[in-house]
Structures are given as C-alpha cells and as structure tokens.
Copies of this chain bind each other. A is one copy, B any other.
C-alpha cells in the first residue's frame, strides 16, 4: 500500500505558492519604486536611510522564503493541505505586515515578524509529525495515525 500524491491534494498549496511568488515580486517592485523616488543610482544599495529600510525588509523576506517554502510543502504533502494552507496564508499576511512596518521604522517590523515565526513553527511541527508518521510506517512498521492521510487515495 502506498500513498500517491495527486493534484487535488496539493491545489491549495499551489495557490499559496503562486501568491508567495507574487508577493516577492511585489516587494521587488516596491523596492525599485523607492529607489526611483530617492534617486539612488544602480547598483548602489546604501547611502539613503529610507531605501536601506525597505531593502533590508525585502532581503529578510527573501532569506525566509526558502525556510517557509520548505516547511510549507513538507507540511502540506506529509500532513494535510488544509491546515497547511491556513498557516501559509497567515505567514504571507504576517510578511506583508512585516514589510510595510519595516519601511516605516526598524521597530515596526517586529509584530509581523513574530507572527511569521509562529506560522513557521506550526508548519514545521505539522511537517515533522507527518514525516514521522510516514517514516515509522515505512521503516519500522508502526502505524501511529492513519486517519489524517485519508486525503490521499489508497491502492
């Protein structure tokens, strides 16, 4: 018996992934716009405090994007797509809050950041649980919990 991945079980993950990519593109666009407003010539990224704030906000979002995507897809594939979808939407909302906060001042980045970390922790916990469940069944023959996997078709 094996657990096949089908499109219906990852469609909600697809929505968040596309939205996350769009959000990063939107951050890049806003950084470019700010660069134009403060008249900072390419390729410099320093020399204007306002630009440095928004640039650092974008860089931090980029740094955490692979952390997010890793935990998000592992949670969605090995645990369940619905709670993963909700935590993913929460993460993207927290990052929007973080980004707009950081562009005002370094202190205002904190509330959004803390929420994004909470979402990451939830995703990591769900991913670890799902992985442990599959690996225990596969390598030790122990079936801790099979109920949540009903989203997948069984053969």
Interface residues of A (CB under 8 A from B): 2-8, 10-12, 14-15, 17-18, 20-22, 24-25, 28, 41-46, 52-53, 55-58, 62-71, 73-74, 77-78, 102, 106, 109, 120, 124, 127-128, 131, 134-135, 138, 152-153, 155
Contact = CB atoms under 8 A, between A and B. Distances in A.
B21 A67 contact: yes
B138 A8 contact: yes
**How many copies of this chain does the complex contain?**
3
Contacts of A65: 66
Contacts of A21: 66-71, 124
Contacts of A11: 78, 131, 134-135, 138
Given A55-B43, A56-B42, A138-B11, A24 B106 contact: no
B10 A2 contact: no
B106 A41 contact: yes
Given A4-B153, A7-B78, A21-B69, 17 more contacts: A2-B6, A5-B7, A7-B134, A10-B77, A14-B77, A17-B70, A18-B124, A21-B66, A22-B124, A28-B64, A41-B106, A42-B56, A43-B53, A43-B56, A43-B102, A58-B63, A69-B70
A126 to B, nearest CB: 10
A3 B14 contact: no
